[in-house]
Amino acid sequence: MSCCKQALEKINSISQQLLLCLQSSYDNILVESFTVDKETDIDERKKKHIKDTELAELIAIRERLISELFTQYTPKLLSKESALINEMVSLDKQLTAISNNCKQSLSEQVIKLKNSKKITKTYQKY
């Protein structure tokens, strides 16, 4: 097995791990948006922090590996692994889509929170 192929397989494996983490985060965001202002306990916060840290590490590793891939291997070598490159591109599109979904859901939560605070301030005036 060529080093180029191994590098691509590692990138795709990390991309799949990222997809699972992001999907889990997105699912949590959706659940939280339907949860009525309950206090998050310390254990839940620690789990989220660990997950966020893991996510950041995976992203950094993936970015580094992709950068190395395109600096270490020639286009000719890369073209021999077109199936793996196509898989990498497909995974990248999926990562982008789920990231955009997370961003949109978080934006909506922030807007709801701001509106809720405005309403609270208005009631406090009376």
Angstrom CA distances, 19 to 37, 58, 70, stand at: 28, 10, 22
Each domain of the chain, given as residue ranges in start order, spans 3-125
Structure tokens at 71: 């600096």
Task: Say if residue 22 is exposed, middle or buried (CB neighbours under 10 Å; 0-12, 13-18, 19+).
Answer: buried
Segment 36-67, tens digit of pLDDT: 445 555 556 556 656 778 889 999 999 999 99
Residue 88 CB neighbours (<10 A): 19
Give the pLDDT mean for 84-103. Answer: 94
The reported pLDDT for the residue numbered 27 is: 76
Give the pLDDT mean for 98-109. Answer: 87
Give the pLDDT mean for 78-89. Answer: 96
The reported pLDDT for the residue numbered 36 is: 46
Residue 56 CB neighbours (<10 A): 10
For the entire predicted model, the pTM comes to 0.73
